Each structure stands twice: as structure tokens, then as C-alpha cells.
Chain A
């Protein structure tokens, strides 16, 4: 079974803090994704990586950055956390062939609260 793990299930941070969310997958997938999930909005893509050290902005990248130094690990960074970044963050990974992504496998999510 594909396993995608996220470093924390719940996280509480203060406004202005730098926050790191870590995601690890064990299936040698090329693609990795970070989403945030908010009620009534579904999932929105923050950043996407299709290879080590490669990244693409998603639909809502403002206030976030990412790092992918190893194939299995994809980190989401909030440089200076703000209250409007309180949300559920979901990491996903997928296989890729000739640039086409297949279904994504999701981690359990990190519920981040910024106070």
C-alpha cells in the first residue's frame, strides 16, 4: 500500500512564526502536492513538485514556499504564519508517466491553527 505520512496531525503556532510541514511518501512517486482544505471550498492546490528540486506554483501559493531536496520528502513552509493560514493541510503524491499524473494518494492531514 502507498503510504503518505505527515509530520504532525495537529499544530498550533503564533502569528509571525516560521512553520514547517513535512510530508514523506514511500512509493517512489515523482509528483508531490500540497493542498489546503477549507469548509465549502474543497481542496486548493498550493504547490506542486514533479521532481527533486523542481516546483510549480498552484492556485494559492502566496505566503507559502516549498522544498524538495529528496524524492520522498516534500516540505511546506509558512515564512511568517498568519491567522488566515489556519486550515487543514493535505499532502499527496502520484506516479507520473510522460508528464501525465495518475491518481493521487493523500496523507492524513495536518490541522494548523495560527493564533
Chain B
């Protein structure tokens, strides 16, 4: 069965420093992986997605993630944090649903705090 584990429930960084949000996945086949972001009182927004093309995926707002099959990881990074990056981030894997449809499996989330 497919699953994702977000290794940190909370991450705190200073503005202008790098961001690293860690995600490990478990999948019996080549997975499709996403990162979503949720700002306070807002719905989820897709940051980026990996679907077996390039292993380094660039997303919106300067975020990127690298798919590493050998480490079963899909960590999210950003070189320089901005105050507006403070939000909750979800790592997501697609799995097969009944009837052959896909469904999303969400990690528990990582809350990112950015300090001045």
C-alpha cells in the first residue's frame, strides 16, 4: 500500500534562510507525488508534482523537490524563506482506488513558521 510520512510536524526558520521539509514515501510501484500548501483559513494549493519525468521538480514561489528513489524521499526545499511561506505543507502520494480510480494519500502535514 502507498503511504507518505512527513518527518517533522513543525519547522521553524528565519527569513532568508533555507527551508527543508522532509517527506518519505512507500509505494509498490513508481509513484506520483505532490506537495500542497495550505495558508491559514485557505484551501489547499498545489505547489508542485512529480509524475516520473525529471527527478528535480520546480514549483511555484521558488519551491522545488527532488525525487530520490534510492532513499524513497521527496523533500521540499526553498533557498531563502519569506514571511509569506508560513503555512502548512502536505506531502501526497497517489494510490489506486477501488474501481481503478486514483486517490490521494496525505501526510500528516508540516507547519512551517518563518521568523523575522
Contact = CB atoms under 8 A, between A and B. Distances in A.
A68 B23 CA distance: 35
Nearest to B94: A101
A104 B44 CA distance: 9
Contacts of B104: 43, 45, 104
A58 interface: yes
Contacts of A100: 101-102
A55 B93 CA distance: 22
B100 interface: yes
Interface of B: 9, 34, 36, 41-46, 49, 90, 94, 97-104, 106-109
A106 B94 contact: no
Interface of A: 4, 9, 31, 33, 40-45, 48, 50, 56, 58, 90, 92, 96, 99-101, 103-109
Contact of A103 (B9, B34, B41, B106): B34
Among B42, B46, B103, chain A packs the most CB atoms within 10 A around the CB of: B103
B103 A101 contact: yes
The 10 closest A-B CB pairs, nearest first, are A42-B106, A106-B43, A101-B102, A106-B44, A43-B106, A108-B43, A42-B108, A99-B100, A103-B46, A107-B43
A43 B103 contact: no
Interface of A is mostly: strand
Nearest to B102: A101
Contacts of A31: 101
Among B43, B106, B107, chain A packs the most CB atoms within 10 A around the CB of: B43
A103 B48 CA distance: 10
A103 B49 contact: yes
A1 to B, nearest CB: 11
Among A43, A58, A105, chain B packs the most CB atoms within 10 A around the CB of: A43
Given A42-B106, A43-B90, A101-B102, A106 B45 contact: yes
A101 B101 contact: yes
A48 B97 contact: yes
Nearest to A57: B98
B58 to A, nearest CB: 15
Nearest to B45: A106
